[in-house]
Amino acid sequence: MKVVVLGQDPYINKDQAHGLSFSVKDGTSLPPSLKNIFKELEGDIGIKREQSDLSDWAAQGVLMINGTFTVQKGISNSHKNIGWLDFTKDVINHLNTKKSHIVYIAWGSFAQKLCSNVDNKTNLVLSSAHPSPLSSYRGFFGSNHFSKTNEYLRNHKLEEIKWC
């Protein structure tokens, strides 16, 4: 595990979510947040990504995890109180105490709260506004988290992520 990308909960529309935060299977219409992630990726490191399935990132050591793993169709954050959040907090705490030199990417206040106890001396937490169209212009665009992640990995003699 080299990078953790935190989301709030799965996409709420039918056939969008498939287990990785922000990712959708190829051929699925791009959700607005993922469109903005791809805009930032291109603006930051010049990569125009075609695949919407981010499994290739996961295969390189990027844990893309939501705070909650399920939702009621059409209702964001509808399962926030059924125990998933405790599990996610335990995962982050375990990683924080057992492994160092992880980059935590916390887009939005929800993800930032999940990272509030991460040790900044042995890891890197990158925070910005959420990539949703409602908040992306308040600091998500121009955050350069893709290049900053790879710079941190490179500086700690870890293989960079191929974001393409």
Q: Quickly state the pLDDT bin for 34 (edges 50, 70, 90).
A: very high
Check residue 30 and give its pLDDT.
94
**In the predicted structure, residue 15 carries a pLDDT above the cut 90:** no
Q: Which region holds residue 20: left if phi is over 0, alpha if psi is between -120 and 50, else beta?
A: beta
90 is catalytic: no
**In the predicted structure, residue 164 carries a pLDDT above the cut 90:** yes
Check residue 159 and give its pLDDT.
98
Check residue 64 and give its pLDDT.
98
pLDDT > 90: what percent of the chain? 96
Distance, in Å, from the CA atom of 141 to the CA atom of 128, rounded to the nearest integer, reads 9
Torsion 42-48-51-56 (CA) sign: negative
- pLDDT tens-digit readout, 107-152: 999 999 999 999 999 999 999 999 999 999 999 999 999 999 999 9
Is pTM beyond 0.85 here?
A: yes
Reference 104, options 69, 159, 64; nearest CA is: 64
Tokens found for residue 112: 């930032």
- pLDDT tens-digit readout, 70-94: 999 999 989 989 999 999 999 999 9
Distance, in Å, from the CA atom of 147 to the CA atom of 157, rounded to the nearest integer, reads 15
Q: 57-83 burial string, b = 16+ CB within 10 Å, else e?
A: bbeeebbbbbbbbebeeeeeeebeeee
| Residue carrying structure tokens 């080299």 | 2
Mean pLDDT of all residues belonging to the chain: 96
Mean pLDDT of 42-55: 97
